[in-house]
Structure 1
Amino acid sequence: MLQRLAAVFTGKISRWVTLAVWIALAMLLTFALPSANENVQNNAENLPDASPSIAADHMLQQYFPDSSGVPALLVLQREGGLTDTDLQAIQALTEQLTNQTLPAQESVIPLHLMPPVALQSIISEDGSTILVPIAFAQETETDVLKENLSFIKGWLQEHTGSDIFAADIGDGLTARFTGPVGIAVDATDLFLDADIILLIATVLLVLLLLLMIYRSPLLAIIPLIGVGFAYLVTSPILGWMAAQGWISIDSQSISIMTVLLFGAGTDYCLFLITRYRDELMHERGTRSALIQAFKGSSGAIAMSGFTVVIALLALLLAQYGSSHRFAIPFSLSIFIMGLASLTLVPALLAILGRASFYPFVPRTEEMERERAARLNRPVKPRQEAHKLWKKIGGFVTEKPWTVIVTSMIVLLTLGAFATQTQYKYDLLSSFPADMESREGFKLIGEAYSQGELAPLTVITKGLDEAALQSTIELVKDDALVDHVTEATVSAIDASYSSFKIVLEIDPYSLEAMDYIGTLQQQLDSIAGDSSYWIAGQTSEQYDTQQLTIRDNVIIMPTVVVLIVLLLLVYLRSIIATIYLVVTVLISFAASLGLGWIILHVGLGYDAIQAAIPLYAFVFLIALGEDYNIFMISGIWKKAKHMPLKQAIREGVGETGAVISSAGLILAGTFFVLCQMPITILVQFGVITGIGVLIDTFIVRPFLVPAITQVCGRWAFWPSKLKLQAEKRSEQ
């Protein structure tokens, strides 16, 4: 069947038809459907409506519409103290925004109506800083928010006569936008040109690595053509699905999808190309060599791709929005890349033939003699293929216990450091230090309580005045609370009241998130039959933490179970499935531990984003099994007609080169994420790239073959290969 399938894509006419179909499909989808980047939604909600913090926001909007909305915090500071001219400009701004509201603007404090005494009360104690909240409607498009902030910046610069938002203006008036709106706008700006930069960097890196590995310009371009067509097909499909409202995609998922396409896609192409090159050393006919290469590698490629697709689809079980949004783009891109590697790439290789490998063209021994005679040159002795990796295979089979013990000591030691990893849940800390919203937060923390950046709002229902006052006094006494505002009664329903809590600590810190649990206990103790809700950024982060824990507990085991089932179907061996999965899990722990050492000790991060372990787990487990499947399938095939020890030695020798090349390229593409300006991608790139290298150079060539050698014929149990191995051992 595989031979017939290969013939479909490699025939004299059908190869050109295959290429034409891909070109037509890419052009049709590109021109007929919107691209993924046209339907990016960077402000999509990450928390479901059932989350307590989201329910609290809805209550706030319903019963306290004047205090609802998403705030943009405008902070203005002059080191020597704000002047009367500064205050007049600020008052003029609030008058402008009151008389002519901006799109989606809900409220602004009318500073222009405040008497001087009241105005002084909202200025910092040292007189240097003032904070002006400007609220916008929930779920306003980021582009609209950005235009609004740009208008305010232009207006202030015009009325103050200087660029007060410049990076460094000395002792003059300084202004910064921060808060939820400022953070959202900065997050979008970080990705404005990042996709193009990431794409260029990834293409150049893959091209350079392919040239170093194969030293053939044409061969380096072929995988990139396959990846390019896969991207051209994937992007409009995702854009159309997003336009229909079936899925939502963000810039972060598009960036990682690009990396995944180039890394995993190039790997699949290399699996076929390497086998094709080996076959050309023994087959005179290029088409017959290609058919044999397809027959020998297509099953592993298809199974590898299917494993990754299924593992990534498990992210659909995530309730946290960002994780859930990854599932479709990632799995669809790998599925389409798998199709391209099994149809388009064979067609391209068939079209180019041996010229694909120019100037180092692989030929049979007979062809080499004919060429030497034609050029009147001596025949060069043929070097043994995969010499280094065959030596490694020999060492592993001769000293398997040494390899197992050494590898496990290294991996478990690194894995122990994973338990020391610290996590954070806020977006602000992932920004560069010179981003406007982060600088604004710093200004607020220096002049006011840091909690002013994101105060908590408690909404109560059914508390009488005495109980409400007792609740406020109870909350005030907590050491983490800077101050609590007076209660406000809803004008819509008098049974609802609210008050704000301004923390003394960073509202985005883990300590502030832990305070939510304390606050819930305090409110429970006094609530009785009444109800309460807690709104605010800290409350949302607390819900994010709980959802992250829930998603990890559900998705990680699900991925493991799915991969176990796939391996059982493909290998028909319980023993091999067990140790293949266990080694990948140990490799993941080692990756997380070594990644934490590099990020914390080497790069100075005090914590990593809490979503990273789940992302890294899904990628590393799925991609790690990719290499397992490719190597073990080679060993299994050889074990059908030779002793297991020899099969392992030759299997490692033949697959070691391609797996190491593929691993270097895949790790390199993930490391490209390190040049992105947002630290969650830097951290993800470091941990995942390290994980791929550990899989490539420790687990796959050493640990897995050594365990297979120790297990002997039981590695095949209960498949028929075990019986065949027993018969050969008896003979």
Structure 2
Amino acid sequence: MGVMLEKLGSAVAGRRTRWITVIVWIVLAGALTMWLPAVGGQEKNNAPNLETDSPSVLADQLMKDKFPNGAGVPALLVWHRDAGLTEEDYALIQKTSQLLSEQPLPEQGELLPLHQMPAPALSKLASEDGGTLVQPITFAENADTEILRSNLEKLQGLVKEAAGGTSPFDAATTGVDALSARISGPVGIQVDASALFKGADVSLLIATVLIVLILLLLIYRSPILAVVPIVGVGFAYLVTSPILGWLASEGWITVDAQAISIMTVLLFGAGTDYCLFFIAHFRQELEREDNKMTALKIAFRDASGAIAMSGFTVVLSLLALLAAKYGAYQRFAIPFSLSIFIMGIASLTLVPALLSIMGRASFFPFIPRTEGMQQQRAEKRSKPFRPRRQGSKLGTAVGSLVVAKPWTVVIASVIFLGALAGFAPQVKFTYDLLSSFPKAMPSREGFDTISTAFTPGQLAPITVAAQTDGKPVELVASLSDMDLVDSVSEPVQSEEDPNLQSVQVTLNINPYSQEAMDLVPLLRGAAEEALDKVGVSDAESKVWVGGQTATQHDSQLLTDRDNKVIIPLVIGMILVLLIVYLRSIVAALYLIATVLLSFGSALGLGWIVLHYGMGAEAIQGAIPLYAFVFLIALGEDYNIFMISSIWKKKAKMPLKQAIREGVAETGGVITSAGLILAATFAVLATLPIQVLVQFGVITAIGVLMDTFIVRPFLVPAITTLLGNRAFWPARAELVGEEQSKSGKHRQIV
């Protein structure tokens, strides 16, 4: 295997082939960029997350088919004045209604004809204090987000023109005696969410590149070497983006802004790590070999297997998201796994080729040299020769500690991580998209205004439809008596089927809250009971519950299902890969166990930071699975690199010495890689989107746990305690003192 890997290294980074490798990457990136569409132009931020047979989807489709006049998604134009709406304000509202009626916006549907209502009737639609009025404007349910965004911009321009050049959208919603306007409701929320992610792309990319570059400069103190990983990741991105764009344009995959944002972070974080692991081996060999090409071949032989295995582990873990039924999870699978796959290829082809071209100069001004080269250099300068210290002081100290006191290290690590993991069951989850928005976002300001002036449930009423079979069903009475229900509209009969009726249920709580979602099955049960009372048969199949709250309820059910399927699947796949790679069931089991403990502690500490430190009442429901897949896969990366070093050294020296040297040898590069990966995920915490902030914080904490506790302390300490049993069912070769103690020689099988 070693000879084959050396030949592969020569094939991609030999004296002649290195230029071919670089040219191939340049041509490939350029051709794909020119011929294929960029992924950014193929984003669909309103792609459905639920399956077509989900109850809320069936309900919404029923409303669209059987109640076409009420079908669609509403934008709520919220008018407000602290001192109360004036006659001029009402005139502007009616003028706006008239313009929308005469010049409807694209995909505009039902419009409440406020311009045809007399002033006294219009004022009755306002809140009790007369300060707020909500003007609903319905748009087609399948309208593209970009069309909706353009419509809202046109609407704001239309209002500004009707107001004589003064835009009420610029006025503060409270504290001033001026008319304010905000667009909320499902359409406003959808457009604001898209704008947040879209605006995050460029700033996220710039911030990620800068943080990686700064950390590389601090770590290596070499401007050339700091650029090499950036170049490698950059070319991987240039190749990945058009391929994803092409796949999306052909309809084979669906991509959204959120997936592309996180993919950028993953690519730069994990991609830089792979480059660092190769660079570390190359630097080490340059200190042993006079010939840079020989050093490169050996580095490729020693590093490529672990890098390929780590990348393969991450790719398979991310592909497991294809087993999800929730759309947002599925949309992550291909972009993430493809980007890591291409980055893995770049780190084993382009990066070695670049290092081969630059050689020792890539480490300037701190150029690695062999001891003989250093001695000759010292003699030429007439300076005393000082041999280089092998390994870092800290790494050597940690390695010695875990070997000398493994029980102390294991117990202390498990207690610390376990105590933090104890907070994980306290985590509260939310599916409220509004809670992810900054408080100054227009749709959230509009929601706050509605909540204060009316009932918060008016933002997104729940639709309940029932097939009565011509029986006198008391649907309104059955639903009105329920807790948390503010009001129920009069039944509306379908023109196509008079026996089919629907009502709008307005809650007195936030319709995006957990309490509101928990009410969905209760509403369904109450409606079914009302049908049963009058003798309607098979009532369970004749009730439909739709709307945003029902959609979120179904989303929660799907994510719960996906957690139960994907988490065991990822653990199983990684376990099999580790067993195949390490040829040890025992090692694979405790490596998985340590990363699971690390994930639990990251979730617990993340909750402490987000809840007690940042004031978050809950975290987004999708985050635990995202964080789990990332942390399990990336956490095993570091374990693989360290344990690979120990396994190789064990063939030449006693296990305890192999552990000491393995920890010391890999400590610096894994610490550097962990800091860079954690920093890239922490960049997400700077964005104004709470779902990304929460994901970034938890993932960054998990990476740091792996970097500073699991990898240097817990794993090597467990390996020390198990001794040669860590290799079971393979048998470890006894070396040195181990031979004399056992009196026999075991061979690795």
Structure 1 length-normalised TM: 0.98
2:461 maps to which residue? Answer: 455
Shift of 1:525: 1.9
Letter in 1 for 2:662: G
- Indicate the larger mover: 9-18 or 381-390: 381-390
Tell me the residue number matched to 2:620: 609
Whole-angstrom CA distance in 1 between matches of 2:581 and 2:156: 61
* TM-aligned CA deviation for residue 498 of structure 1: 0.5
> Greater CA deviation, 316-325 or 374-383?
374-383
Secondary structure of the structure 1 residue equivalent to 2:168? coil
Moved more, 315-324 or 521-530: 521-530
Question: Quick one: structure 1 residues 487 and 614, their matched pair in 2 at CA, closer, same or farther if it must change by over 3 Å?
Answer: same
CA contact (8 A) 1:106 1:137 kept: yes
Contact 1:715–1:722 (8 Å) recurs in 2: no
1:334 aligns with 2:346: no
User: Runs of at least 4 residues of structure 1 off by over 4 A?
Assistant: 722-729
The equivalent of 2:480 in structure 1 is 476
Tell me the distance in 2 between the aligned counterparts of 1:151 and 1:440.
18
Which residue of 2 is the match for residue 93 of structure 1? 96
Q: Which moved more, 1:527-536 or 1:43-52?
A: 527-536
Q: Structure 1's 475 and 22: CA in aligned 2 closer, same or farther, altered over 3 A?
A: same
Whether the aligned pair in 2 keeps the contact of 1:86 and 1:160 (CA below 8 Å) is no
1:28-85: CA deviation from partner (whole Å, max 9, x where unpaired): 0001101110111111111111110011000000000110101000010111111112
Residue 296, structure 1, aligned to residue 302, structure 2:
yes
Query: Helix, strand or coil for the counterpart of 1:138?
Result: coil
Alignment check: 8 A CA contact 2:127 2:453 kept:
yes
- Alpha-carbon distance, 1:643 to partner: 0.8
How many aligned positions are there?
Answer: 729
2:380 is aligned to 374
Are the counterparts in 2 of residues 266 and 662 from structure 1 also a CA contact under 8 Å? yes
The worse-fitting range, judged by mean Cα deviation, of 419-428 and 720-729 is 720-729
Quote the residue 1:27 is aligned against: 30
Shift of 1:327: 0.3
1:59 alignment partner in structure 2: 62
Match of 2:215 among 201, 209, 233: 209
Counterpart selection for 2:105 from 83, 86, 102: 102
The residue that corresponds to 2:724 in the other structure is 713
Deviation sequence 1:673-721 (CA, Å, 0-9, x none): 1111111000000000000000000000000000000001100001132
Gaps of 5+ in 2: 744-749
After superposition, the Cα gap between the structure-2 partners of 1:465 and 1:114, relative to the gap in structure 1 and judged at 3 Å, is farther
- Encode CA deviations 1:298-324: one digit per residue, 9 max, x unaligned: 000000000000000000011111111
Q: 1 CA distance for matches of 2:245 and 2:99?
A: 39
What does 1:319-358 align with in structure 2 at a 5 Å threshold?
Answer: 319-358=325-364
The answer to whether structure 1 residue 392 and structure 2 residue 362 are counterparts is no
Amino acid at match of 1:508: Y
The answer to whether the Cα contact below 8 Å between 1:643 and 1:728 also exists between their aligned partners in 2 is no
- Please list the CA deviations of residues 96-147 of structure 1 after superposition, one character each: whole Å capped at 9, or x if unmatched: 2122211101111011122334323311111111111100001211111111
Measure how far apart 1:516 and its partner are. Answer: 0.9
**Aligned residue for 2:598?**
587
SS in structure 2 opposite 1:165?
A: helix
Partner of 1:13: 16
Which aligned pairs between 1:476-555 and structure 2 lie closer than 5 A? Answer: 476-528=480-532, 529=537, 530=539, 531-555=542-566
Three-state SS of the structure 2 residue aligned to 1:191 is helix
Residue number in structure 2 paired with 1:218: 224
Unaligned residue ranges in structure 1 (runs of 5+): none
Q: How does 1:161-310 map to 2 (within 5 A)?
A: 161=164, 162-168=166-172, 170-310=176-316
- In the alignment, the residues of structure 2 paired with residue 188 and residue 289 of structure 1 have an alpha-carbon distance, to the nearest angstrom, of 49
CA distance in 2, matches of 1:461, 1:651: 70
Query: How far is 1:92 from its partner?
Result: 1.8
Name the CA distance, whole Å, in 2 between partners of 1:176 and 1:289.
Answer: 64
Kept in 1: contact 2:73–2:186 (CA 8 A):
yes
Equivalent residue letter for 2:722: C
Instruction: Provide the residue aligned with 2:742 in structure 1.
Output: 730
List per-residue Cα deviations over 1:192-234 (Å, max 9, x = no partner): 3321111111111111111111111111100000000000000
1:648-689 Cα distance to aligned partner (Å, 9 max, x none): 111111011111110000000000111111110000000000
Shift of 1:526: 2.6
> What is the alpha-carbon distance in structure 2 between the residues aligned to residue 585 and residue 382 of structure 1?
39
The code of the aligned residue for 1:429 comes to S
- Counterpart residue number, 2:659: 648
Higher mean alpha-carbon deviation, 270-279 vs 304-313, is at 270-279
- How far residue 86 of structure 1 moved from its aligned partner, in angstroms, is 1.2
1:635 is aligned, of 646, 651, 658, to: 646
Q: Which position in structure 1 is the counterpart of 2:583? A: 572
1:116 alignment partner in structure 2: 119
1:36 — aligned with what? 39
AA aligned to 1:208 is I
| Cα deviations by residue, 1:245-304 (Å, 9 ceiling, x for unpaired) | 111111111110000011100110111101111111110000100111111110000000
Q: Provide Cα deviations, 1:565-624, integer angstroms capped at 9, x if missing partner.
A: 101110111111110001110100000000000001111111100100000000000000
**Aligned mate of 2:78, from 75, 89, 98:** 75
2:393 and 2:96 map into 1 onto residues whose CA distance is: 75
Distance 1:315 1:721 in 2: 37
CA distances 1:335-384 after superposition (whole Å, capped 9, x unpaired):
00000000000000000000010000010111112112223333234233
Distance 1:167 1:413, change over 3 A: farther
The answer as to whether partners of 2:606 and 2:701 remain within 8 angstroms in 1 is yes
- SS of aligned partner of 1:506: coil
SS in 2 for 1:192: helix
Tell which deviates more after alignment, 590-599 or 92-101: 92-101
Q: 1:2 aligns with which of 5, 30, 42?
A: 5
CA distance in 1, matches of 2:256, 2:134: 31
Amino acid at match of 2:66: Y
Measure, in 2, the Cα distance between the counterparts of 1:645 and 1:478: 68
1:418 aligned residue: 424
The answer to whether the 8 Å contact 2:654/2:735 transfers is no
Give the corresponding residue for 1:621.
632
Please state how far the C-alpha of 1:517 moved relative to its aligned partner: 2.1
- Using structure 2 for the length normalisation, give the TM-score: 0.96
- d(CA) in 2 for partners of 1:607 and 1:635? 42
CA distance in 2, matches of 1:127, 1:106: 28
Whole-Å separation in 2 of the counterparts to 1:724 and 1:67: 80
- Partner of 2:169, secondary structure, is coil
Measure the CA separation in 2 of the matches of 1:93 and 1:237: 45
- SS where residue 466 of structure 1 aligns? coil
- Code of the residue aligned with 1:94 in structure 2: it is S
Partners of 2:699 and 2:63 lie apart in 1 by 41
RMSD: 1.3
The answer for the alignment partner of 2:609 in structure 1 is 598
Q: Is the 8 A contact 2:282 2:295 kept in 1?
A: yes
| Distance (Å, rounded) in 2 between the aligned partners of 1:479 and 1:559 | 41
Question: What residue is the counterpart of 1:667 in the other structure?
Answer: 678
- Residue range with higher mean Cα deviation, 640-649 or 52-61: 640-649
